[in-house]
């Protein structure tokens, strides 16, 4: 593996870094942020800034208006965008849209790409991915899927309940995972304003960084034309892996930027704050935490780059993405937790951005599969199960 950056990628990294520092960080105190994420008006303003800077949806193909970044290139740019909690929103690389864009580029028909994917890449609409269900439905175990799709002429009729559906409020369309009569799973595309889709409620959550929050959705005799099946009937679980392996990794990329931000705030504080006759950072207990942060950040970065390189070689990378997701979510959580500890009172108040990062970061160990499930999955593969 060659970890050196090309001149083009170095320039893109520096351009993204400047954009985040000069255009996005100053907006972090904008009042248009709610317990369920930035408002649509704030998102639109952020997206317009990224569009003007030539940084909007950089992971999408050049044909659709993106920069066509490789997975390794995404690792560089997404980390820089993640330095601000508003950065991924601005660049249109936040979940779930980022993963949906990747999935649809691979699977969607030309008509579906024109109708839904192109405006999604342009940042003019948002999307959601409806797979997770309340008990006893699908969660970490997708085989427990209970939402059903039944063929009726040229349509499929969908019934069921989904929850923790990120970005559903205000989304233009949904990708819905449903169980067929033979027990297989299929993905369907549906505009969110169709009769039969209802947002039952928004769920309160620790994180507040996703536009549209997290919602409970109900499907009551939702009729979806057969033309709106995403990919092929019965291949929903296979397509989920097409989406999830890169999506786990891009979570790591974005949160690495947030953890680096928390560490930078703590490091600056440790240099300036004095206690017991010397700067805080010169006390061994604090110095060791700074060193541990640096090691965890680099460990996470190397896992991301290695897994990105694996995906760029055309390999599926499911094992590697599970490993990276587990290592990174736990290492980056330690970085943010130590940063709070070093900041003391400032770490548990809104005086710095670190409290915000701490709250948003905790869910990372659960999104796209909790650490325990990834460990179990890796062990099964290692044992040849």
SS3 153: coil
Q: Quickly tell me which residue has 């950040």 as its tokens.
A: 297
Task: Give the pLDDT score at 140.
Answer: 87
Which residues of the chain are modeled with pLDDT < 70? 1, 385
Of 122, 121, 103, the C-alpha closest to 230 is 103
How far apart CA 12 and CA 7 sit, in angstroms, is 9
Phi-psi region of 212 (alpha: psi -120 to 50; beta: other; left: phi over 0): left
Task: Give the pLDDT score at 316.
Answer: 77
SS3 162: strand
How far apart CA 371 and CA 379 sit, in angstroms, is 12
In the structure encoding, which two tokens stand for residue 5, read together? 């950056």
Helix (H) or strand (E) holding 166: strand 155-166
Task: Give the pLDDT score at 315.
Answer: 82
What angle do the packed helices 71-81 and 284-312 form, to 10 degrees? 140
Task: Give the pLDDT score at 2.
Answer: 72
CA distances from 187 to 226, 232, 237, 240 (A): 11, 8, 9, 9
Q: What is the DSSP string of 330-373?
A: HHHHHHHHHHHHHHGGGGGSTTSTHHHHHHHHHGGGTTTS-HHH
* Structure confidence by residue, pLDDT tens digits, 178-207: 999 999 999 999 999 999 999 999 999 999
- Backbone phi, psi, residue 211, to 5°: -60, 130
Task: Give the pLDDT score at 4.
Answer: 82
Contact between 184 and 176 under an 8 Å Cβ cutoff? The reply is no
DSSP state of 21: I
Query: Can you list the domains of the chain with their CATH numbers?
Result: 7-94 (1.10.540.10), 127-233 (2.40.110.10), 237-382 (1.20.140.10)
* Structure confidence by residue, pLDDT tens digits, 25-56: 999 999 999 999 999 999 999 999 999 999 99
Residues 6+ apart with CB under 8 A from 310: 317, 320
By 3-state DSSP, what share of the chain in percent is helix, strand and coil, each rounded to 5? 55, 15, 30
Contact between 323 and 308 under an 8 Å Cβ cutoff? The reply is no
SS3 4: coil
How far apart CA 94 and CA 82 sit, in angstroms, is 9
- Measured between its terminal Cα atoms, the distance across the chain in Å is 30
CA distances from 22 to 49, 164, 170, 257 (A): 11, 33, 28, 16
């Amino acid at each position: 593996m060659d970890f050196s950056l090309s001149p083009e990628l170095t320039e893109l990294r520096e351009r993204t870094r400047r954009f985040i520092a000069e255009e996005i960080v100053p907006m972090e105190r904008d009042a248009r942020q709610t317990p369920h994420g930035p408002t649509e008006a704030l998102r639109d303003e952020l997206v317009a800034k990224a569009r003007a800077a030539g940084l909007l949806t950089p992971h999408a193909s050049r044909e659709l208006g993106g920069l066509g970044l490789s997975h390794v290139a995404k690792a560089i740019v997404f980390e820089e965008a993640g330095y601000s909690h508003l950065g991924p929103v601005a660049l249109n690389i936040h979940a779930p849209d980022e993963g949906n864009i990747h999935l649809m580029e691979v699977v969607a028909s030309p008509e579906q790409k024109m109708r839904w994917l192109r405006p999604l890449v342009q940042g003019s609409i948002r999307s959601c991915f409806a797979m997770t269900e309340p008990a006893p439905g699908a969660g970490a175990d997708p085989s427990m899927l209970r939402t059903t799709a039944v063929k009726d002429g040229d349509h499929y009729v969908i019934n069921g309940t989904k929850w923790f559906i990120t970005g559903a409020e205000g989304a233009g369309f949904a990708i819905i995972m449903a169980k067929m009569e033979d027990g297989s799973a299929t993905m369907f595309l549906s505009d969110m304003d169709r009769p039969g889709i209802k947002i039952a409620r928004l769920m309160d959550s620790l994180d507040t960084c996703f536009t549209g929050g997290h919602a409970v959705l109900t499907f009551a005799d939702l009729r979806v034309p057969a033309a709106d099946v995403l990919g092929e009937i019965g291949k929903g679980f296979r397509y989920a892996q097409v989406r999830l392996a890169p999506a786990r990794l891009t979570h790591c990329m974005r949160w690495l930027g947030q953890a680096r931000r928390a560490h930078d705030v703590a490091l600056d504080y440790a240099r300036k704050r004095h206690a017991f006759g010397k700067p805080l950072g010169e006390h061994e207990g604090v110095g060791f935490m700074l060193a541990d942060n640096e090691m965890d950040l680099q460990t996470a970065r190397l896992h991301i780059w290695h897994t990105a390189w694996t995906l760029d070689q055309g390999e599926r990378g499911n094992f590697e993405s599970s490993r990276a997701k587990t290592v990174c979510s736990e290492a980056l959580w330690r970085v943010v937790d130590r940063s709070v500890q070093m900041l003391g009172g400032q770490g548990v108040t809104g005086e710095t951005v670190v409290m915000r990062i701490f709250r948003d970061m905790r869910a990372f160990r659960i999104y796209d599969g909790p650490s325990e499930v990834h460990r179990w999955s890796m062990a099964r593969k290692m044992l040849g199960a």
